[in-house]
Amino acid sequence: MSGKRSALVLGGSGGIGRAVAERLAADGMAVAVHYAGNKSRADEVVTAIEQAGGHAIAVGGDVAEESDMSAAFDAAEAAFGGVDVVVNTAGIMLLGPVAEFSLDDLDRMHRVNIRGTFVVAQQAARRIRDGGAIVNFSTSVTRLAFPEYAGYAASKGAVEAMTLVLAREMRGRDVTVNAVAPGPTATPLFLDGKDQAVIDRLAAQPPLERLGSPEDIAEAVAFLAGPGRWVNGQVLFANGGIA
């Protein structure tokens, strides 16, 4: 497998992560599909990729644990000969007004979204092959400032800061580092807890008058992971023009 580009997709077992894994596989990459707790969902993605003629493996672990992520990179390197693309879609979203927000929830969300991004980025910076691409995930809410999103948006603001700094630290490696910032996207993470009226209102906001799909976001990732070599140290907003 050493002659083929390969990708490690964190959070690759569902939602946007699955769409990204399948899209990169369609581009000819071998893909390591990461899962946190549900191996069967990751295995489903692997099976779908293989049935479409691609090559994939499932790798598990907590994105915020260095030993787990080191092992995930080990597994991808053993299977594919190296890692060329690292996409970190793993994250959690907990909502509530600042005045009432649970600090335990804040800590839990920041552990996954901030520490998890940092741990994965650290492994990627050490181990990605020259000529590769690192893609982190932010959110358009960092600009839209929806009420009840303060804790989540704060965690993603940290992701953007890490992304822009790491892009400059990778000088000399021909490695791009960018973040994708989706707008409202029809995933279980986004739709959970929202009634139809709220969903309809959000879908009407972009000029394109619909929610994004996981596949829409995967296209942006595929661009950054493949032909978009002159885009570096940027946050790419994929939101249909909502912001």
Q: Determine the pLDDT at residue 29.
A: 98
Which residues 6+ apart lie within 8 Å of 149 measured at CB?
A: 95, 141
* pLDDT per residue as tens digits for the range 71-127: 999 999 999 999 999 999 999 999 999 999 999 999 999 999 999 999 999 999 999
Kindly give the interhelix angle for 214-225 and 15-26, rounded to the nearest 10 degrees. 50
Catalytic residue ranges: 152
The partner residues of 136 in beta bridges, in order of sequence, read: 179
In CATH, the number for domain 6-238 is 3.40.50.720
* pLDDT per residue as tens digits for the range 16-49: 999 999 999 999 999 999 999 899 999 999 999 9
Q: Distance between CA atoms of 77 and 37, rounded to whole angstroms?
A: 22
Q: Decide if pLDDT at 190 tops 80.
A: no
Q: Determine the pLDDT at residue 10.
A: 98
Single pTM value for the model: 0.95
* pLDDT per residue as tens digits for the range 53-83: 999 999 999 999 999 999 999 999 999 999 9
Q: Decide if pLDDT at 243 tops 80.
A: no
* pLDDT per residue as tens digits for the range 152-176: 999 999 999 999 999 999 999 999 9
Which residues 6+ apart lie within 8 Å of 93 measured at CB?
A: 109, 152, 189, 190
Q: Decide if pLDDT at 143 tops 50.
A: yes
Answer yes or no: are the C-beta atoms of 89 and 137 closer than 8 Å: yes
Which residues 6+ apart lie within 8 Å of 238 measured at CB?
A: 180, 181, 182, 183, 212, 216, 217, 220
Q: Decide if pLDDT at 2 tops 50.
A: no
Mean pLDDT of the residues in the chain: 95
Length of the chain: 243
Q: Distance between CA atoms of 70 and 74, rounded to whole angstroms?
A: 6
Averaged pLDDT, 213-218: 97
